[in-house]
Amino acid sequence: MLDDIKKTLWATAFKLRANMDAAEYKHLVLGLIFVKYISDTFAARRVDLVARLTNPGDEYYYEGASAADLEAELEDRDYYKEVNAFWVPEAARWESLRSAAKQPDIGRRIDEALTLIEQENPKLKGILDKRYARAQLPDGKLGELVDLVSTIGFGDNPSTARDVLGQVYEYFLGMFASAEGKRGGQFYTPASIVKTLVAVLAPHTGKVYDPCCGSGGMFVQSEKFIEAHGGKLGDVSIYGQEANPTTWRLAAMNLAIRGIDFNLGREPGDTFTRNQHPDLRADFILANPPFNISDWWHGSLTGDPRWVYGDPPAGNANWGPLNHLAF
């Protein structure tokens, strides 16, 4: 059932892109899916709170509260933080965006909503890609995309919602990678390969590191592996780095929607020239390095302490990642 929904969503979404390059379009689609999810999760928590605040048998019961009192109580951020739900300002909630989908300035409204969400949730600062106002889509197509994403139902159960979104998000990542061809490999490693790597390494507790993490698939699969073998979310600490700014954002969103804590560095950066985890001693390293790159070398890398066997060949990056991982 969900597989059919994913395929239908993809076919419709890809048709709406018109002549826009898939590499650009994926950020519009995945960003909207992310906002829809956090808004739905926020709304579900709000409904749950209303029921609990008005139930005399519940520990949250607000005795004698007026409608205004309840409304004010629902604005308490702590209620949402305790269940790892992001706080979504009213102007950024999905219903506000959906109702404005046919407006000519819907792109600007989405960008403003993303700014508001980042302001209220420091964890998301710099992660949400505000490119909707300048999106090169034919008139009305962005609004149609908002309407399409509105049909994705995540349900009221937070665990189920996270699983549904995770599957939709992962499916779209894979399809966009296929649509981009060779370029897609820069941000996405096929799920079958990721599952094999994780199964062989079998991470269970400790620190997991990926120095070229792409969209974060290694981390997501590690958490799935742990939960499938009796562990729980958070048994491993996630450390990664990604040079491409837009891919770095994809990875952060991919982890955030699944409730996974992570450290991807302060900002996007090349692992060779701007290593953001120099003192990290990881327990598990999962990576699909960019092999056979000829223009990777920088003069500042000469004599780097990571090259314990001497400077690797400047014309081929293959030995660079291996030395970095072994250091």
Q: Does domain 187-288 have CATH number 3.40.50.150?
A: yes
pLDDT at 128: 92
Q: What is the pTM of this model?
A: 0.82
What span, in angstroms and rounded, lies between the C-alpha atoms of 195 and 187? 16
Q: Measured on CA atoms in the order 166, 168, 174, 176, is the torsion positive or negative?
A: negative
Q: Indicate the residue type of 183.
A: R
Helix or strand holding residue 53 (H, E) = helix 22-53
- Of 290, 286, 254, 285, the C-alpha closest to 270 is 290
Please list, in sequence order, all residues whose beta carbon lies within 8 angstroms of the beta carbon of residue 264, skipping any fewer than 6 positions away: 213, 239, 240, 241, 242, 248, 251, 252
Domain spans of the chain?
A: 2-181, 187-288
Mean pLDDT by 10 residues, the chain (327 residues): 78 84 85 90 92 95 93 93 91 96 96 96 90 90 92 69 76 81 64 90 92 89 86 88 90 86 91 92 90 81 88 82 80
Dihedral-angle region of residue 192 (phi above 0 means left; psi in -120 to 50 means alpha; beta otherwise): alpha
pLDDT at 160: 72
Q: Choose the CATH number for 2-181 among 3.40.50.2300, 1.20.1260.30, 3.40.190.10, 1.20.58.2030.
A: 1.20.1260.30
pLDDT at 157: 67
pLDDT at 120: 94
Residue 91 tokens read as 């102007």
Helix or strand holding residue 255 (H, E) = helix 245-256
Per-residue exposure over 60-90, b if at least 16 CB sit within 10 Å of its own CB, e if not: eeeeeeeeeeeeeeeeeeebbeeeebbbbee
